[in-house]
Chains A and B, each alone.
Chain A
Amino acid sequence: MTSLTAARAATGSDDLTRTFRSMATDVTLRVVGARPGAAAARDRAEEVVVRVAATCTRFDPASPLMLANAAPRRWHQVPAELYAALRAAADAYDETDGRFDPRVLDVLVSWGYDRSLPFRTGDVAVAAGPAAGQHAVPGRRRWRPRFDPSRRAVRLGPVPVDLGGIGKGLAVRWAAAQLADAGTAALVEAGGDLQAVGAGPDGNGWLVAVEDPRGGTEPVAVLSLTDRGCATSSVRLRRWSVDGRPVNHLVDPSTGAPADGGLLSVTVAGADVADAEVWSKALFLAGRGSVRRLADEHGLAALLVDTDGVVGLSRAMRPYLVWQADRDW
Chain B
Amino acid sequence: MTEPRSSSAGWRTAAVIAPAAAAALAVTTGWAMAHPPEGSATTAPPLAPQVAPAPDPTVDRGEARLHRQALAAQGRVGHLTRTLQQLRARTEALRAAPLEVLAAASPVGATTARASGGGRVSVPAPPVPAAPAPAPAPATHTSTGAS
Contact = CB atoms under 8 A, between A and B. Distances in A.
Interface of A: 2, 4-5, 7-9, 25, 28, 165, 168, 187, 189, 191-194, 200-201, 206-213, 218-222, 230-234, 236-238, 265, 267, 292, 296, 308-315, 318, 322-329
Q: From DSSP, what is the main secondary structure of chain B's interface residues?
A: loop
B145 A232 contact: yes
Given A4-B143, A207-B139, A329-B103, 5 more contacts: A193-B144, A194-B144, A208-B140, A312-B102, A322-B138
B147 A313 contact: no
A313 B141 contact: no
Nearest to B104: A310
Given A218-B137, A312-B100, A322-B138, A210 B143 contact: yes
B9 interface: no
A231 B147 contact: yes
A235 to B, nearest CB: 10
Given A309-B104, A325-B134, A292 B144 contact: no
B51 to A, nearest CB: 40
Nearest to A267: B144
B106 A222 contact: no
Interface in B121-144: 131, 134-135, 137-144
A220 B146 CA distance: 13
A192 B141 contact: no
A315 B98 contact: yes
B145 A267 contact: yes
Given A296-B98, A323-B135, A210 B103 contact: no
Contacts of A219: 137, 140, 143
Interface in B46-83: none
16 contacts: A2-B146, A7-B139, A9-B139, A25-B146, A165-B147, A191-B147, A193-B144, A194-B144, A208-B144, A211-B144, A219-B137, A309-B103, A313-B99, A323-B137, A326-B103, A328-B103
B141 A200 contact: yes
Interface residues of B, number: 24
Contacts of A8: 139-142
Contacts of A310: 101, 103-104
Contact of B145 (A187, A192, A309, A323): A192
A231 B103 contact: no
Contacts, number: 139
B147 A192 contact: yes
B105 interface: yes
Interface of B: 95, 98-106, 131, 134-135, 137-147
A296 B139 CA distance: 30
Contacts of B131: 326
A15 B21 CA distance: 78
Nearest to A268: B144
B143 A211 contact: yes
Most chain A beta carbons < 10 A, residue from B95, B99, B134, B143? B143
Closest 4 CB pairs of A and B: A211-B145, A192-B147, A326-B134, A209-B143
B142 A311 contact: no
Contacts of A211: 143-146
Contact of B140 (A207, A315, A324): A207
Given A308-B105, A310-B101, A311-B104, A192 B146 contact: yes
